[in-house]
Amino acid sequence: MACRSASVERVADKTVKAKEQVNKLQEMIKAQEADNKSAFFKNIDSHLADARVKDAREISYNSDVKTEYTSEFSLDKIAAVVTSALKALEKATDKSVKAPATSPDAIAAYTDLVNRVAEAAKSSSNAAASLSFSMNRLSPGVFAFLYASSVNIKDDETFGSEAVTTTAIYYRLMQSIDDVKQQAAFGQALIDAKNLIDMKILQAALTDQLADGKLDIDEWTKKDDAYSAAIRKIQARLDAAKFETARLRAMPKAALLGAPASGTEVSEKLVRSAIRRLSAKGDAYKVVIQTSEARLKSHYY
């Protein structure tokens, strides 16, 4: 399955060249599928070994593709496909294993996670690259893995000044009976807490890209607003669950299942470095600098 955002679809429908360019992107990502799948599975094996899970078996595996402008922050169609796979788990898993949470809040948390992983793949920042893979324990014995990879093309004549990106999302659901015995409880809030830290790294990386000249002010503003809205939504769920993100940083690495242990440090370093570079570029970046400094002062990251 491959889907396109409405804005890309409108351009692709206008000229043969645009349609060919979009098809070329999708062919490029398809040509990488074998290598991406291999890298994805190797990463899964490594993370399962770190979590001391030795008996994991595959419940399902699939991939989906989305083409959109780089500044767009909407993967609802792919997220819906991935989360529908979660809802089907109840029928696919052994009766001895508790089904994963499929409440509206749990699905919302995972939808945001799908979006975050895809955004990480689209980002040109090295700091965000590691976030394009995700492992999460959905419930005792049930693990969900996500991996994203992107290719992009820029053609001013066809698409305007902004690049178009095709992102492939790979997802795999696995089950472990041993893990059921090891895990006493499942915390939906843990997914949100890790995702909050990772989304803020992406937001910090956005300012880093602006300082590097990889984005202009308008693109930064559009995506920063979208990231802020996503972060507020995640934070609201954590507040409702009375979950303090400080608890996340205090947890042992094995419990985090791949979340960066020093997300705050990574974000702060990126932003401080970006502020120094933007300060040398003149008043055009004054608002970005003020916003970034306010976030640092309030311990936003």
Residue 179: closest CA among 78, 246, 124, 97:
97
The order of strands in the sheet holding 133-139 is 2-4, 57-69, 164-175, 142-153, 133-139
Residue 43 sits in the same domain as residue 155: yes
In this structure, the answer to whether residues 174 and 244 fall within a common structural domain is no
Percent with pLDDT over 70 in the chain: 80
Task: Of 78-92, 144-158, 215-229, give the lowest mean pLDDT range.
Answer: 78-92
Q: What is the pTM of this model?
A: 0.70
Q: Which domain holds residue 18?
A: 2-184
- Our count of domains for the chain comes to 2
30 and 169 assigned to the same domain: yes
50 and 162 share one domain: yes
| 185: pLDDT strictly greater than 50 | no
For helices 217-240 and 286-297, the axis angle rounded to 10 degrees is 20
pLDDT band at 94 (very low <50, low <70, confident <90, very high): low
Of the three residues 184, 212, 233, the one that is the final residue of a domain is 184
Which of the listed ranges 86-90, 238-242, 262-266 does the model predict with the highest average pLDDT?
Answer: 238-242
Chosen domain end from 160, 184, 208:
184
Is pLDDT of 108 > 50? Answer: yes
Whether residue 144 is found in the same domain as residue 210: no
Of the candidates 38, 61, 37, 212, the one whose C-alpha atom is nearest the C-alpha of residue 123 is 212
- Pair (152, 288) in one structural domain: no
Question: Same domain for 121 and 12?
Answer: yes
- Say if residue 30 is in the same domain as residue 140: yes
The answer to whether residues 129 and 231 belong to one domain is no
Residues 147, 220 within the same domain: no
Which positions ≥6 away from 221 have C-beta within 8 Å? Answer: none
Out of 184, 203, 223, pick the residue that ends a domain: 184
Check: CB of residue 52 under 8 Å from CB of residue 176.
no
Residues 89 and 199 in one domain: no
Tell me the per-residue pLDDT of 14-28, one tens digit each, with 9 for 90 and over.
667 777 888 888 899
Q: Are residues 27 and 126 in the same domain?
A: yes
